[in-house]
Amino acid sequence: MNALVATNRNFKLAARLLRLDSKLEKSLLIPFREIKVECTIPKDDGTLASFVGFRVQHDNARGPMKGGIRYHPEVDPDEVNALAQLMTWKTAVANIPYGGAKGGIGCNPGELSVSELERLTRVFTQKIHDLIGVHTDVPAPDMGTGPQTMAWILDEYSKFHGYSPAVVTGKPIDLGGSLGRDAATGRGVLFATEALLNEHGKTISGQRFVIQGFGNVGAWAAQLISEQGGKVVAVSDITGAVKNSKGIDIPSLLKHAKEHKGVKGFHGVDPIDPKSILVEDCDILIPAALGGVINRENANDIKAKFIIEAANHPTDPEADEILSKKGVVILPDIYANSGGVTVSYFEWVQNIQGFLWDEEKVNSELKNYMTKGFKDVKEMCKTHDCDLRMGAFTLGVNRVARATVLRGWEA
C-alpha cells in the first residue's frame, strides 16, 4: 500500500473518531498549494540539463509550513503529497507552531558534481523564493540534501530578501544552525522509547534492540541507546547486516561504518541476511530506514514486543492489524521521529531571536517536548479508546481542525 493511501486512511479513521464535519474533513486533506518548476542548468561539460523541482505546501492553519527537500531520481508526487500531509499532523502532535510541506528535485545527486548541485539548488531557489519564507514555508534537508544545500538556499534567498537565516533549518552551525540538530531525530527516538517503556514499568537498560538502518537516525539512536545501557543485538544498512546476541560494540561499529561507508565487514559479529533483520529476536525493534518494510509477509514473524517507528511509514496497515492482534505495541512515526522537526523549530526560534542556545538547553527542551507529546498521545488513546497510532493521529488532526475552525476557514 503506498504512503498516500495509508496516510489518507489513517486521517479518515481519525476524522471519524473525532466526528469531524465532512466538509471540514475534505478541506483538511486538500493541499494549500502545489508548485512545480523546471530547473535548467549548464553542466560542467557545457551541455544543458533540465530537472523538475516541486514543493507541496499542505496546510498553514497553525503556522508556517515546514518540511524537507529531497534530491532523488524517483520523486513520486503521491509520496511527496503524503509526506507533506504527514508533516502537518507531525508538527501538530509535537505541538510546534507549523503546518506541513515537502518538496525536492527529481535528480540523482550521486551523478552530479558539487558545482552542478550548487547551480541546481540556486536555480530551484530562484524559482520558489517568493513562495517560501520565514513566516510562510521553511524548508529543511531530507534524502540527498544536507547542511550545505541549506546554506546555498539561504544565500540565494537572501539575495532577494536580505539576510534571512530562519528561512531554512538544518543549516551549518556557522550560518545559524542549531547545536544538537544532527543528533535530534535519534535523540528524540531515545526520549520517545524511554517514555513508552516508563509506561510499562521498564527502562532502556538491559533491553535488547534491533535497528534497521544505520544512517543519521539509526546511528545516533544506537549510540544513545547503548550509552543508556540498552543492548543493540543487530544492525543493518544498505551494505549488509550484522548480529551479536551478547550486544554489539556500538562505538567501534560507528567508527567502522564511518571508515568503510557501512556496517559490512565489521569484526566481532556474525553477518546475517539484511532481509531477516526485522524478524531477529529482540525486545524492541527500531525501523530507521525506508517506508513499507513491515508488511503482511513478515509481520507474523516479528519477535519484538515494541516497535519504535524512527522511519516514515515503515509499517503497512495490514501489518498494523496483525501486530496489534499479537499484542505488539507500536510507537507511531508521527510521534516517534518528531525530534528532528522539533529541534528544527528550536533552530528557527534561535534565528528569529538572534540568540544561540547551548546544546544542553536544546536537549533538555527536546526531552520536555517528547515527554509532553507522549502524555498528550496517551490522553487521546484514553479518550477515544484506541491504539497509539490513532491516539497520535487524532491528537494531530484535532489540533489542526481546531485552528482551522478558529481562523474561520472551514467550508
Residue numbers in the known binding site for substrate are 66, 90, 344
Q: Which member of 23, 43, 102, 375 is catalytic?
A: 102
CA distance 64 to 60: 6
Is 102 in the active site? yes
DSSP for 297-315, please give it: TTGGG---SEEE--SSS-B
Please report the DSSP string for 37-54 in residue order. Answer: EEEEEE-TTS-EEEEEEE
d(CA 208, CA 306): 11
Decide if 197 contacts 225 (C-beta within 8 A): no
Do 54 and 68 meet the contact criterion of CB atoms below 8 Å apart?
no
Binding residues for NAD(+), as ranges, are 185, 216
Helix (H), strand (E), coil (C) string for 242-257:
EECCCCCCHHHHHHHH
All three cell numbers of 256, joined, read 567502522
**65-72 and 284-287 beta bridge pairing:** unpaired
> What are the strands of the beta sheet with 65-72, ordered from one edge?
33-42, 48-57, 99-106, 65-72, 137-141
CB of 129 closer than 8 Å to CB of 122 = no
Residues of each annotated binding site: 66, 90, 185, 216, 344
Q: Which residues are catalytic?
A: 102
